[in-house]
Amino acid sequence: MTGPQQASYLHGYSAFNADRASRLEIAAAADALFVDGDDGSRFALQVQDNPPALIYPAGAPPMSLDILLAGIEALLANRPDINRLALRLEGAEALIAELLAQGVAIREGEAVVVAPAMFWQLRAPWLAGAAAEPFPLLYTMTNGKRHPIRRPKREGVLYARYIPWLDQVLSFRLAFPRTDLCAFNRWMNEEEVARIWEETGDIDHHRAYLLERLADPHTLPVIGCFDDAPFGYFEIYWAKENRLGPYYDADDYDRGWHVAIGEPAFRGKAWITAWLPSLMHFMFLDDPRTQRILGEPAAAHAQQIRNLERSGFAKVKHFNFPHKRALLVMLLRERFFNDRLWMPNEAGPPLDRRRDRAQADAGGGVDAIAGASIEVERVQ
């Protein structure tokens, strides 16, 4: 990375965080990235600034695909201005063939380049169980609704991503009563969450609630964590079988979501710019056939709707649920990846300044549910 501004842009990064045994650490110098392998080896990738390129010189030790993916992710995450990243891998024809076969890179003339909109649709860097093929299509009926049979829920961590402006790893894992019941019970009885979700109750009530969601193939109950500290509950659903399905022309793989940020310390702009785009990222990666993500905020929740618009959601229509008048909003897969909505919608300053600002923003966290949780309507 040449130039004084670029040199301070990336100081440290981690990749492949969904499986700690596979986690890779990346560091930067003025014009190079250093990726540490899990066997103690270190690989140096030269960084060219204009035009952007990653260079692995001839005669260097053979490099695995994961090492290169980690370096690409770190650079693209911290350089959102890059539209195309050229790869110059001297004497690595087999690796180049693998990159092209897996869609990591494409050929543009004689050059081998990475397109960010394609790269961030890869599953391996962020998704646990990424090697699993999409679940085969077979239709079934539930309560008179025809929809695909859904994949059984995967236990443990589902998705993880390093957030450079917070210097923390965000992860989503399946919620289970044996590990999450006490936190879930406390969150649902917390005043701000209870005002929206209306799910106050004792331990037994919330145990039954989680067990019901786990047993329902159309819902995925998830706990969000920053550096392994649980901060909120997320409920992801397949829209076709959901209460939302009859109100629009639902596709087989449309998804929707609800959220409650249970820990007040994790409310506010610094955190929402991390978990909201990462949640969308997870849903798009979880099944490549998902082209649309839906939301259903109350029509009167102007701040939530503004937040969703800033995050790429388009207004579709107003409609009436039995319990509220709602606005249907929709995020398209193409817009999310082409507009790079996995990052905050602003030009990022160097990492240290972003981190300082994030910590300052976190101090005003009692923005609570309306401003920081986006869509927290009770699931009925």
Query: Cβ(258)–Cβ(283) under 8 Å?
Result: no
Query: Cβ(121)–Cβ(288) under 8 Å?
Result: yes
- Choosing from 296, 346, 375, 377, the catalytic residue is 296
One-letter amino acid identity for 211?
Answer: L
296 given a catalytic annotation: yes
| Alpha-carbon span 206 to 236, nearest angstrom | 17
Beta bridge partners of 142: 145
Q: Could you list the active site residues?
A: 296
